[in-house]
Amino acid sequence: MLTGIGFFMNIIKDNTLYLILSAEYANGRPVLDIAEQALDAGAGMLQMREKSLSEEALLALGRKLLCLCKKNAVPFIVNDNPYIAKKLNADGVHLGQEDVKKYPLNDTRNMLGRDKIIGISTHSITEFKNANRQAFDYIAFGPVFPTKTKDYHIGTGDIEEVLKISQKPVFFIGGVNISNINILIEKGAKNIAVIRAITEADDIALVAKTLKKRFSGPCRFASQSEAAGAREAFLIKINGKERSVSKPGNLSELLENAGLSKKAIVIEHNYNIVPKEKWHETTIVEGDNIEIVSFVGGG
């Protein structure tokens, strides 16, 4: 029987975009700027994940992020350390599997109070089932896709079972971006947590809005043809970089709009090479991943 479940379990709603903020993956940009843009664009939770800062620096940054989160009425979570969370009066703490050994759930709950969020990371169906039986307020499951933040990933095969048995909100994490989010949506996922998809984005606000809309917008389960005509501008990824496309079109039009020659070009669309004769009939939709290789002559 579940006991002592925190107050926040009931207010973490579906379609939440959870930004995990880390200067390590900010490309040299101020994390406060990233946070502000992402929150303005619809991020619904924010976590401070800074593993190399001193306590003094963590508290200084945490105070600023907490103020920003309060302004936007979203929960502010501290990674790993309930003592820092308590000193900041943050909305909660996120614990990894090793953290729970150091800070047991009951001790952390008593330290922070009944009205605070306590989240837990899980990396297998076994870990998930164990966490699901305990009084955590949400569970993160992953990494589901390859990611720079981990040296492994667990894939998407257990997502349906996780969602079937879960008694609390689940955030899928690990390599989630606009190119693969549909895989999660089709399996029934309702919440995601991201780091690099937002912190490394060229256009932070646009990426955050796109990820949020993919869960909660009218095109959540739209067909490709419906999605293509749903909005005038959308986001795709070209050669690993997020780009805003002004209007729906096909691969041939994309090359023309980009001013690229159609000679000595190879295009990979969603990880499949598209023959040149098919470019004009291959429609681009939001979230597509496109790689364009241009060959230069030589001896």
Domain segments of the chain as ranges = 7-221, 225-294
| 54 confidence band (pLDDT: 50, 70, 90) | very high
CA–CA dist 191, 13 (Å, integer): 9
Same fold, 7-221 and 225-294: no
CA–CA dist 140, 169 (Å, integer): 9
1 CB neighbour count, 10 Å cutoff: 3
Q: What pLDDT is attached to residue 245?
A: 65
Residue 5 has pLDDT above 60, yes or no: no
Given a contact cutoff of 8 angstroms between Cβ atoms, the answer to whether 175 and 147 are in contact is yes
**Cis (ω within 30 of 0) for the bond into 143?**
yes
Given a contact cutoff of 8 angstroms between Cβ atoms, the answer to whether 217 and 54 are in contact is no
Given a contact cutoff of 8 angstroms between Cβ atoms, the answer to whether 234 and 285 are in contact is yes
Beta bridge partners of 192: 17, 172
CA–CA dist 22, 144 (Å, integer): 19
pLDDT digits (tens, 9 = 90+) for 164-207: 999 999 999 999 988 888 899 999 999 999 999 999 998 899 88
CA–CA dist 178, 232 (Å, integer): 17
- Rounded to an integer, the average pLDDT of 116-131 is 97
Superfamily per CATH, domain 225-294:
Beta-grasp domain (3.10.20.30)
Token pair of 260, please? 């690229």
Q: Provide the whole-model pTM.
A: 0.75
Instruction: Report the chain's mean pLDDT, rounded to a whole number.
Output: 85
Q: What pLDDT is attached to residue 217?
A: 56
Query: In a 10 Å sphere around its CB, with 0-12 CB exposed, 13-18 middle and 19+ buried, how is residue 253 labelled?
Result: middle
The domain over range 7-221 is classified in CATH as 3.20.20.70: yes
